[in-house]
Structure 1
Amino acid sequence: MNFLEVLYIVVPVALAYATPLIIAALGGIFSERSGVVNIALEGIMVIGAATGIITTLTLTDLGVGASSPWIALLVAMVVGALFSLFLAVPAILWRADQTVLGVAINMLAIGLAIFVVRVLYNKGQTDFIEYRIAKENVPFLSDIPVLKMFFINVQYTSFVAIALAFVVWFVIFKTPFGLRLRSVGEHPMAADTMGINVTKMRFMGVMLSGAFGGLAGAVYAVTVTTNFSGTTIVGQGFLAIAAMIFGKWNPLGALGAGLFFGFAQALSIIGSNLPVINNVPQLLLLIAPYALTILALAGLVGRADAPKSVGIPYIKGKR
């Protein structure tokens, strides 16, 4: 097996695992650019994953068919946005500690999701979905030598995630909405003086973060695991936060970081089938994504300055 053949195997798997990380990281950027720390991305992804699977199973029972998982992604976005209010209301209106809130919401999410699953299915996990977003070969592009590694055995959600990174970059850096969002995360008093509603913008940032987090969780569930249990989302939300920081709160940087972490996860999953690293102990392969995350953040990312007012509640009239 030559190097190119290895890439033909690794790249599609890396794209599948990178997709939810990229989407969730983009959501984190919306929240933190507005000045609200979102440690709760892990919990929001849990809720999104549960919503995605439950909705797909329900729609399948109703005879909707192959479009079920795509509709489920939209439902998960709405549920994720609503669930993010558990962060937005206390953090923005009541000026609660955002880090503690995030930890509490992560614990709430897993408990709530498992409770709902037990009520609906009388067991600790759902059934496997019949219709999933399957891997496909992109017509024409999958026939191009070398480049076909990006277009064989891929889900279209991967291309959606990459496109979203460019859309979010444009929204944040090239639109009036993005300028207002960044201003309330950098200097909310100055933004308030200019007539920008700081509370409204921060709510919008957190709820957009929730929508993207819910979408990310649902994408992971309907493309990778195809069912939901208490261990469906384990650490992906935190990896997405790492990708956001590694990308320096820039959507295109988060895209690159998400691809990097997705590649690391792919190696941990299929590394035992690849030459050179097939003799590496499985345990080392499993911890590789998290070890690479630590190394990347500690030694490679350089200076990463968060928005100046992130995590600081805004009190009108006070600096």
Structure 2
Amino acid sequence: MTTLAPATASDGTIQLATVKVRHWKLAISLGIASLLLFLLFLLVPRGGVSNFRLGDASAAIGLPTVSVPAGPTMWGVLVVLVLLTLWAVWDAWSYRRTGIWLPIVYGVLAMFAFLTWAAASAAASVPVTGLLFGAVSLSVPLVFGALGGVIGERVGVVNVAIEGQFLLGAFSAALLASLTGNPFVGLVGAMIGGVLVAFVLAAFSIKYLVDQVIVGVVLNVLVTGLTGFLYGALLVPNEAVLNRPVRFTRWEIPLLGDIPIIGPVLFNQTFIVYLMYITVGIVAWGLYRTRWGLRLRAVGEHPQAADTVGIKVNTSRFWNVSLAGAIAGIGGAYFTLVSVGQFTKEMTAGLGFIALAAVIFGRWDPIRATLAALLFGFATNLQNLLTVLKTPIPSEFMLMLPYLVTIIAVAGFAGQIRGPAAAGKPYIKG
């Protein structure tokens, strides 16, 4: 990357000098990943054949199971990974930005090599469609939470309360869907629950200037205790009436659902998943292509300048934080209206904080944050697959895997990135 820095010429005038900066972060990260794979393949060698099941029982077009020799495939792919790492090193040495394609291709190939090692000589095969379907399903609440976090921080409020919005949204969805027998009513209730948590966050952080992170943490603890109490006092004694929500069923989109591999994964889903596709597109388009998005970003980057041109900074923050809470509440509804089918205590299990990590890893961009959430969902589902394949990896490590991926992604790949300039800073007019 090149930047402009002031320099003084011989005649005393100030000129702009070009300063080149090398970016080694990606190259170092890929190098460490390649080294870890090398050590894994060397110290824990596995031979035989690895089977990848491409077909799905519900698919209209059947695909065969592909078998590959484990050892040659692992080491062959590792050579390609080393070459990609050297490419990233050359780009960094030449002061060039590496294209986004390289880490994506590297990640796909590295995962293929790792799965080849994990499935070597295993009785079970790797269900490719099932693996991707599970990853998408586990990512849905993370995507909604990450979108809520992106909107909140882009407007200048750090939304640490995503976990609380998930929990109250899940509780409200279960209660209302059980009472009415309509999952759409439960979905609206979940959005209202998320807005209530966001309302409190906005009121204390914007009007009363309380530290936003502290308010968010306190709200998470408060909502966890409140929903836990209501679960024991209200839902458990009346479980048949109040905690048996009608769940969303899958809707297969004709033709699209018949596409091999990606059809069952993307187009044989529930209403909330299709709503996720629409929400990601609307937020990504609105944030960069509409007046609403321009004002939102202005308030989060330079509230004084936004105020000067007539934008009501605190009002804009209040309503956008409420919108973020409604979106995060939909993620909470997914737990009770799709995946679990009833509300239980602390059922979100800290996923709100992983959603917040996806915001940072995604650099406060809706599309990147969505991809980060999909990565974390894939890591969670991979943990289950490794258990089925009976790999020699300790079970304790597999339980750590989703959180380890989160830490590596944020610390290693995100690194020193700058968020919205005014995020977390209250605005006092005048």
| Offset of residue 316 of structure 1 | 1.1
Contact residue 117 and residue 124 of structure 1 kept, 8 A: no
Contact residue 180 and residue 191 of structure 1 kept, 8 A: yes
Pair 1:178 & 2:293 matched: yes
Contact residue 174 and residue 245 of structure 2 kept, 8 A: no
| Offset of residue 163 of structure 1 | 2.2
| Offset of residue 128 of structure 1 | 5.5
2:413 to 285, 288, 300: 300
| Offset of residue 30 of structure 1 | 1.1
Alignment partner, residue 46 of structure 2: none
Task: Give the match's secondary structure for 1:84.
Answer: helix
Q: Distance in 2 between matches of 1:307 and 1:19?
A: 25
Map 1:270-309 to 2 at 5 A.
270-273=385-388, 275=389, 278-309=391-422
Pair 1:208 & 2:327 matched: no
1:187 to 302, 309, 319: 302
Q: Distance in 2 between matches of 1:247 and 1:180?
A: 21
Alignment partner, residue 2 of structure 1: 52
Count of residues in correspondence between the two structures: 308
Contact residue 125 and residue 227 of structure 1 kept, 8 A: no
Contact residue 258 and residue 264 of structure 2 kept, 8 A: no
- The residue identity in structure 1 corresponding to 2:414 is V
Q: Distance in 2 between matches of 1:270 and 1:153?
A: 21
Q: Distance in 2 between matches of 1:99 and 1:147?
A: 39
- The residue identity in structure 2 corresponding to 1:284 is F
Task: Give the match's secondary structure for 2:269.
Answer: coil
| Offset of residue 125 of structure 1 | 7.7
Map 1:65-144 to 2 at 5 A.
68-123=182-237, 129=244, 131-135=246-250, 137-144=252-259
CA RMSD of aligned residues (A): 2.1
Q: Distance in 1 between matches of 2:145 and 2:383?
A: 21
Alignment partner, residue 41 of structure 1: 162
| Offset of residue 238 of structure 1 | 0.5
Q: Distance in 1 between matches of 2:184 and 2:158?
A: 29
| Offset of residue 2 of structure 1 | 1.4
Q: Distance in 2 between matches of 1:149 and 1:281?
A: 32
| Offset of residue 11 of structure 1 | 1.0
Task: Give the match's secondary structure for 1:309.
Answer: coil
Alignment partner, residue 269 of structure 2: 154
| Higher helix proportion (structure 1 or 2) | 1
Cα offsets for 1:153-203 (capped at 9, x unmatched): 533322321221111011111111111111111111111111100111110
| Offset of residue 227 of structure 1 | 1.3
1:15 to 105, 130, 136: 136
| Offset of residue 269 of structure 1 | 3.2
Alignment partner, residue 340 of structure 2: 225
Q: Distance in 1 between matches of 2:222 and 2:252?
A: 39
Pair 1:313 & 2:398 matched: no
- The residue identity in structure 1 corresponding to 2:256 is L
| Offset of residue 258 of structure 1 | 1.1
Cα offsets for 1:24-76 (capped at 9, x unmatched): 1101111111101111111111100111111111112xxxxxxx222211121
Cα offsets for 1:67-94 (capped at 9, x unmatched): x222211121122112211111110011
Alignment partner, residue 376 of structure 2: 261
| Higher strand proportion (structure 1 or 2) | 2
| Offset of residue 118 of structure 1 | 3.0
| Offset of residue 266 of structure 1 | 1.2
Pick 1 or 2: higher relative contact order, CA cutoff 8 A, min separation 6. Answer: 1
Q: Distance in 1 between matches of 2:243 and 2:380?
A: 23
- The residue identity in structure 2 corresponding to 1:22 is V
TM-score (norm 2): 0.68
Percent identity, aligned pairs only, is 36
TM-score (norm 1): 0.90
Task: Give the match's secondary structure for 1:2.
Answer: strand
- Give the 3 Å change call, closer, same or farther, for CA 226–290 of structure 1 in structure 2: same
Contact residue 33 and residue 185 of structure 1 kept, 8 A: yes
Larger radius of gyration: 2
Q: Distance in 1 between matches of 2:250 and 2:267?
A: 8
Q: Distance in 2 between matches of 1:153 and 1:281?
A: 34
- The residue identity in structure 2 corresponding to 1:280 is I
Which structure 1 residue ranges, 5 or more long, are not aligned? 61-67
- Give the 3 Å change call, closer, same or farther, for CA 312–124 of structure 1 in structure 2: farther
- The residue identity in structure 1 corresponding to 2:164 is G
